[in-house]
Structure 1
Amino acid sequence: MAKHLARMAHLTYFNGRGRGEIIRMMLSAAKIPFTETFLTERKPFEKLIEDGVLPFKQVPLLRIDDMELVQTGAIVRYVAKKGGMYGADDKESALIDMYYEGSRDFYFHFLTVIFMKTEEQVIKDARTAADDKYFPALEKRLKETGTGYLVGSSLTMADVGFLEVLLLCVEYGGDDFLDGHPEVKQYYQRLVALPYIAEFLKGPLRKRKNDEQYVTEVKRVLNRQ
């Protein structure tokens, strides 16, 4: 069960999905309220570096519990632990990590949209990866647990990780992307119907697809024009 959360968290990132969306989803799933600062120009980013809060000179940055956390994986795991979404024991935590990391490998197929590949190529590559690797793994695991979740009997970091990618599969590939895998489709439909997930997806915290404006702002902030 999530602990009592006294103070609001604050996320600093670009005004788009990128590596920040999984953090937004995790915070929402963990019922941790947060505000955001969007980086659109170079100077505020340089100020963060000068202030010493970006040790690796990159975002996202999450201020939470009197800490300044960077590195997406570290942030997501902290939020998962704080929200009671990291397993009941070390074995469950290891399984959650395993499936979460698998979701990140799958997610990489979509991370390159606009920056490196066309949508058509991304969808083609993602379908191949889904059919050959990720969907069979999900189906097998869901049959093993029988709970509707990848580990244990409630939502964990692993489920949120895969939900992010399944949302992209449907958004980019259409509603029929999951049709050949009914267990995966039922899993997806179950997750998006969870009240705190549904609220996130319909609200302002859910960012638009990464578009040309997002790419322009990222390049400007990172001085990569």
Structure 2
Amino acid sequence: MFRQVPMVEIDGMKLVQTRAILNYIASKYNLYGKDIKERAILAQITQKARKCYFPAFEEVLKSHGQDYLVGNRLSRADVHVVELLYHIEELNDSIVANFPMLQGLRIRVSNLPTVKKFLQPGSQRKPFEDEKFVEELKKNFF
């Protein structure tokens, strides 16, 4: 089980599989929204983040005028979308330039102290290596 990647050691546990890791961290740091309505919206956004709906996310941020995608605090959806933005920028940074609200979200999330530390050179951040994911991104954006 622990020969899988990614693996995170947290709170005396070794967690594998991205979804399990994200679920644990989201639960631990209250990133699931304040109520059942916000959790439902977060689930939708998280699912859409995998399909690169940047125009929809841009519209969500414009429509409610808040700093984050759901409510006015950091959520799991914000983390997913910002991670995707970083991956897209690694392939072609001009695509993200078309979405100023998402750029603002990326800046806000990236400036959080723990995220900022994680993004520094020499951190444990790894580039994406999943060729299927790269091909999907290229198909959607290039």
TM range (shorter): 0.7 to 0.9
Kept after mapping to 2: 8 A contact 1:60/1:71:
yes
Unaligned runs of 5+ in 1: 1-53, 107-133, 216-225
Q: Shift of the alpha carbon at 1:198? A: 1.7
Aligned to 1:170: 89
Kept after mapping to 2: 8 A contact 1:87/1:152:
yes
Q: Shift of the alpha carbon at 1:147? A: 1.4
| Correspondence for 2:105 among 187, 191, 199 | 187
Please give the per-residue CA displacement for 1:168-194, whole angstroms capped at 9, x wherever unaligned. 1222202x3222222222222232223
Q: Secondary structure at the match of 1:153?
A: coil
Q: Secondary structure at the match of 1:205?
A: coil
Please give the per-residue CA displacement for 1:87-145, whole angstroms capped at 9, x wherever unaligned. 11122112112211222233xxxxxxxxxxxxxxxxxxxxxxxxxxx121111211233
Kept after mapping to 2: 8 A contact 1:100/1:157:
yes
Question: What is the aligned-residue RMSD (CA, Å)?
Answer: 2.8
Kept after mapping to 2: 8 A contact 1:149/1:159:
yes
Distance 1:199 1:89, change over 3 A: same
Aligned to 1:144: 63
How many residues matched? 131
Q: Please give the alpha-carbon distance, in whole angstroms, between the structure 1 residues aligned to 2:78 and 2:26.
A: 11
Counterpart of 1:142 in structure 2: which amino acid?
Answer: L
Kept after mapping to 2: 8 A contact 1:145/1:151:
no
TM score, norm. by length of structure 1: 0.50
| Correspondence for 1:155 among 51, 70, 74 | 74
Q: Please give the alpha-carbon distance, in whole angstroms, between the structure 1 residues aligned to 2:99 and 2:85.
A: 12
Query: Which stretch of the first structure deviates more once superposed, 194-203 or 81-90?
Result: 194-203
Q: Please give the alpha-carbon distance, in whole angstroms, between the structure 1 residues aligned to 2:5 and 2:56.
A: 31
Q: Please give the alpha-carbon distance, in whole angstroms, between the structure 2 residues aligned to 1:83 and 1:61.
A: 19
* The structure with more radius of gyration: 1
